[in-house]
Amino acid sequence: MLYFIILCVYYFLVVLSPVMTNNITEDIEVLVFLPQNNSYLFSYARVAPAILYAQQRLKIEGGQYSGFLFNIQFENSDCVNDAMFMLADRSCGQKPDLILGPVCEYEAAAVVRLASHWNIPVISAGALAAGFSNKKTEFSHLTRIAPSYVKMAEIFTAMFEHFTWKTALLVYEDDKEERNCYFTLEGVYHLMADYNIKTYAVSQENRLDADDILQKIYDTEVVIMCMGADKIREIMLAAHRQQFTNGSYVFFNVELFNASSYGNGTWKKGDKYDNAARQAYASLNTVTLLRTVKPEFENFSVEMKKSIEETGLDDCQDCVNIFVEGFHDAMLLYAIALHEAMRNGYNKKNGMKITSLMWNRTFEGIAGQVSMDANGDRNGDFSLMAMTNVEAGTYEVVANYFGVNGTFQLLPAFNIDKIPSKSCGLGMSALTGVSVGAVLGTAMLLAFYFFRKNFRITIERRTHSEEANTRKHYQLREDSIRTNF
Ligand SMILES: *[C@@H]1O[C@H](CO)[C@@H](O)[C@H](O)[C@H]1NC(C)=O
Ligand SMILES: *[C@@H]1O[C@H](CO)[C@@H](O)[C@H](O)[C@H]1NC(C)=O
Ligand SMILES: *[C@@H]1O[C@H](CO)[C@@H](O)[C@H](O)[C@H]1NC(C)=O
Ligand SMILES: *[C@@H]1O[C@H](CO)[C@@H](O)[C@H](O)[C@H]1NC(C)=O
Ligand SMILES: *[C@@H]1O[C@H](CO)[C@@H](O)[C@H](O)[C@H]1NC(C)=O
Ligand SMILES: *[C@@H]1O[C@H](CO)[C@@H](O)[C@H](O)[C@H]1NC(C)=O
Ligand SMILES: *[C@@H]1O[C@H](CO)[C@@H](O)[C@H](O)[C@H]1NC(C)=O
Ligand SMILES: *[C@@H]1O[C@H](CO)[C@@H](O)[C@H](O)[C@H]1NC(C)=O
């Protein structure tokens, strides 16, 4: 009898356990939503090669993940409804085990709701709006493999603390379609609730009224902008004319994904204002993603450029970007989580379990370490670029922010004279001073209510002039992700 038990245990350990640990096999249906339209940095032609690269690597090198057979199906995302309709059509057929994308906020909102309801994990290098941070209900199965806009805002809270700033004006361009700049600065607004923040929306149709914007600057210290390069230049030129660039104010623009379009040279347009623009840009600092590279990345980068050029996309500037990296790493993260789930006796259909295993962990991604917070959002590293040579008009990275440990690090290139550190006058900043005391909650609430109301008025004023049809569409989309503005 004893012999029999020993035999059983032996059999279990030797014969079965390798099957349960090292040799897990599974077919996995992956549905990927990416736009065919190459005007997006995350288009199919740019990102698909990275997903296939990850699939190859998992199969060949992975060892413990080589038993996963990924069957990848690519579908179009038009950033409106395509992805959601495609997924809804699957409601009676076989459902995917994993969804990658969409990136665009409104489309992602619909897809993630449905996927969460169906218990399917979604990993996106997009869906960066603050509204997705609430994973309690409808976005429960979303994992964000690129740093969200709220994570980006951390570099601003770090700087505000470091330089003891208290007030800011947020100026953003609102296209009322994908609303990237709206959501970008919403992240700042969301995180900086206990500072004095004013907002100003620039509509795309109307002519930019730089002087109107600059009137709002008077009682703030910092201006944070998200806009197209031409509009930024226009505002900086107007600010220069009014002597706002003499060191009393700090200007930021946020350009996370296409950093090559800023810094060196953007002030230059070959018109008669180049010289003034160069001087004005000495006050303009750019916040962008911090890019790290490790030796293996070179190979990936070369392979990606090759694949992308094969598809006829000749302009490969910025073509290996955070979306490309992110979707690559999404495959790794899923493989790690699924493997762990299966080793513990769960199967691939347990989307909630697999999702939870992707959160609160650090793993080695294609470009470096990827750290996911306990809410399933990637911690982000960001850089601050500033003009370091005003004669030549060239930019350098002058500071870095590391999301993992919340460290703000000034580099030697940083020039202290160019960033004023002061608490400005009376007015609104007096209110903040009071709010540090006992009335903190009330003051914050009041400020929030006040600015919310302000913002509503702006929206209403704008929508009145629009046709009824557009307005309806716009309001529907407005409701689709809860926003803080
Ligand atoms: C996994 O199983 C296959 C056959 O099913 C076998 O060829 C392979 O050597 C096993 N790998 C490991 C790591 O046990
Ligand atoms: C691609 O997207 C851009 C910007 O959204 C748009 O202007 C263009 O018409 C689109 N192209 C096609 C073929 O849909
Ligand atoms: C900058 O110019 C403003 C007037 O626009 C003036 O009030 C302020 O004192 C000047 N600051 C410096 C540092 O020269
Ligand atoms: C990135 O910026 C450059 C320079 O402004 C621009 O030509 C290019 O179209 C941008 N790329 C994307 C994908 O937006
Ligand atoms: C890059 O990958 C290819 C194919 O996987 C391999 O042959 C080559 O040695 C790699 N190059 C480097 C520099 O690692
Ligand atoms: C995250 O993981 C760490 C250990 O790696 C653990 O101590 C912590 O409790 C986890 N946090 C949550 C919210 O699960
Ligand atoms: C700008 O140009 C200078 C000198 O040409 C170079 O050292 C620097 O890295 C460039 N910065 C950016 C952000 O491209
Ligand atoms: C924070 O993290 C970064 C990147 O991992 C590292 O370089 C830096 O030394 C860390 N700083 C502190 C204070 O731990």
What whole-number distance in Å separates Cα of residue 462 and Cα of residue 307?
44
Are 394 and 264 contacting, i.e. CB atoms less than 8 angstroms apart?
yes
360 Cα nearest atom in ligand 6: 1
Q: 388-406: b or e for each residue (b if 16 or more CB lie within 10 Å)?
A: beeeebebbbbbbbbbeee
3-state secondary structure of 227: coil
Between the two ends of the chain, the Cα-to-Cα distance in Å is 73
Helical ranges in 344-439 per DSSP H: 351-358, 427-435
**Closest ligand to 261 CA?**
4
Pairwise pLDDT comparison (186 vs 20), residue with the higher score: 186
Neighbours of 333 (CB within 10 A): 26
* Ligand 3 close to Cβ of residue 425 (< 6 A): no
Mean pLDDT of the chain: 84
Are 140 and 354 contacting, i.e. CB atoms less than 8 angstroms apart?
no
Are 353 and 78 contacting, i.e. CB atoms less than 8 angstroms apart?
no
What whole-number distance in Å separates Cα of residue 318 and Cα of residue 41?
8
Q: Is the pLDDT of residue 294 over 60?
A: yes
Name which residue sits closest to atom 7 of ligand 1, judged by CA: 23
Range from 40-49, 313-322, 461-470 carrying the lowest mean pLDDT: 461-470
| φ, ψ at 259 (rounded to 5°) | -65, -25
Name which residue sits closest to atom 11 of ligand 3, judged by CA: 248
| pLDDT computed for residue 206 by the predictor | 83
Range from 154-168, 306-320, 327-341 carrying the lowest mean pLDDT: 306-320
Name which residue sits closest to atom 4 of ligand 4, judged by CA: 261
Are 166 and 221 contacting, i.e. CB atoms less than 8 angstroms apart?
yes
**Closest ligand to 420 CA?**
3
| Residues 251-271, mean pLDDT to the nearest whole number | 82
Q: Is the pLDDT of residue 473 over 70?
A: no
- 320-377 pLDDT, tens digit per residue, is 899 999 999 999 999 999 999 999 999 999 999 999 999 999 999 999 999 999 999 9
Are 235 and 280 contacting, i.e. CB atoms less than 8 angstroms apart?
no
What does the DSSP 8-state code read for residue 95? P
| Residues 210-220, mean pLDDT to the nearest whole number | 90
Quote the crossing angle between the two packed helices 295-310 and 44-60, to the nearest 10°: 130
**What is the set of domains in the chain, with CATH numbers?**
2-149+293-379 (3.40.50.2300), 165-290+382-480 (3.40.50.2300)
Lay out the sheet containing 167-174: strands in order across.
196-203, 167-174, 222-226, 250-254, 284-289, 381-389, 394-402, 407-410
| Residues 413-427, mean pLDDT to the nearest whole number | 55
Letter for the amino acid at 105? E
pTM of the entire structure?
0.84
Q: Which residues line ligand 8 (CB under 6 A)?
A: 402, 404-405, 407
With cut-offs at 50, 70 and 90, classify the pLDDT of residue 205.
confident
Percent of the chain with pLDDT over 70: 80
Pairwise pLDDT comparison (55 vs 415), residue with the higher score: 55
With cut-offs at 50, 70 and 90, classify the pLDDT of residue 18.
very low
Q: Which long-range contacts (CB under 8 A, 24 or more apart) does 344-348 make?
A: 348/26, 348/28, 348/97
Q: Which residue has the tokens 């795309």?
A: 204
Are 122 and 102 contacting, i.e. CB atoms less than 8 angstroms apart?
no
Q: What share of the chain is helix, strand, coil (3-state, %, to 5)?
A: 45, 20, 35
Neighbours of 88 (CB within 10 A): 12
